Each structure stands twice: as structure tokens, then as C-alpha cells.
Amino acid sequence: MMVMMWPFVPIFLIQLHFAVDFWKRLGVLTYFVSILEWLPLAFIIYAFQGAILYYNITLSFPFFVLGILAIAAGVALHSWTAKLLGLKATIGLTEIKPDVKSGKQGLVTSGPFSVVRHPSYWAHTSILIGFFLITGVISIGAIAIVDLAITYFITTKLEDQELTKRFGQQYEEYQMRVPRLFPRVNKQR
């Protein structure tokens, strides 16, 4: 099920951040369009699930435990970011239907957002890695790698552009202080 559901996230996020103005005009129908795009891919994955899930490696018990910890950490981080951003931002609704009247579109820079600009994507990747470590299914490990690459090279860059447009200089200053996806390791003297 996870392998079948995974493509929806990059399909939705890449399109959303690539053409925010278009999706704003479309409104909540954006979700319907993304589902229609995802469904054929989900059907193909379902039809070939035997071949997709066939190859696996046997991992020892410590990897199983690491997998559970990775999933728990991913869920906790995702919950934390969702609490800080709010549900609407977590599901992309703030891009589709901005709440300009209430002024609730403040830039969040605390908590995990003080370590990296896009902690939700780390949460997502951590969950994928956890499922790989638990199951040993090679395709899930490959999806985790592809997901991280798509996130790093495409999604976060598009999201940074959209957030710079939305928050201006405040976001540009935030970009200078906080790394995009990989935390900085500072050496203390």
C-alpha cells in the first residue's frame, strides 16, 4: 500500500510549487487533479505488485528495531511540523487558498524549522527508510533514495522559490541562516 501511495506526494508537491498561481485559480480541485494523475500509476503498481515487492533482503533484528525507531521519529517529526504549520499548510492548502484576510501566514522558524527549512521532508524520508529496514523490500529502499533525491533537487527548490515570493526578504534572511535539508554540524572550539 505504501509503495502504491508514495507517488501521490511528489506528483502533488512538485506541481503545486511549480505553478502556484495556476493551482490557486483551480482551488481545491487541485487535489482532484492530482488524484486523477496518480490513479493510473497506482493501478500499474498494484497490477505489478508481485514483481515490485519480490526482491528483498533479510535484515537482522537490530535493523528491524532501527526501522521502528525511524518510523516513530518520522511520525513524531511530521506531527511536530504539522502542529507548528497547521493542518492547512501541511496539506498544501495555504498555497492553493491563502488566508490573507486573517494574516495567519507567518513564517515558522522555530522548532525543527530552526535546524532545516524543510523538516517535513525528512520526516517523510525517515518513514520510508523505516519501512525498508522493517521489510527489507528493495523497491522500498529505492523509493526512499528516489524520494530524497526528488525532495532535495526539485521539491525544496520549488518550495523555496514560492516561499521567497510569499515572504520576501524575511524568507531570504531565513535561507541564509538555516540550511535547506541537511543540518549543519558546527564544530565547537
Please give the average per-residue pLDDT across 146-175, as a whole number. Answer: 92
> Is residue 118 a part of any domain in this protein?
yes
The verdict on residue 77 lying in a domain is yes
Whether 167 is in a domain gets the answer: yes
From 6-20, 55-69, 138-152, the region with the lowest mean pLDDT: 6-20
For the stretch 75-130, pLDDT in tens is: 999 999 999 888 777 777 777 666 555 555 688 899 999 999 999 999 999 999 99
The answer for 168, left when phi > 0, alpha when psi is -120 to 50, beta otherwise, is: left
Number of domains in the chain: 1
In a domain, 145, yes or no: yes
Q: Residue 34, Cβ neighbours under 10 Å: how many?
A: 19
Non-local CB neighbours of 12 within 8 Å, separated by 6+ positions: 30, 31, 34, 38, 92
In a domain, 34, yes or no: no
pLDDT score of 97: 66
With respect to residue 21, please indicate whether it lies within any of the assigned structural domains: no
Q: Which pLDDT tens digit goes with each residue over 25-65?
A: 888 888 899 999 999 999 999 999 999 999 999 999 999 99
Q: Is the pLDDT of residue 17 over 70?
A: yes
Domain that holds residue 79: 55-177
Question: What's residue 184's pLDDT?
Answer: 87
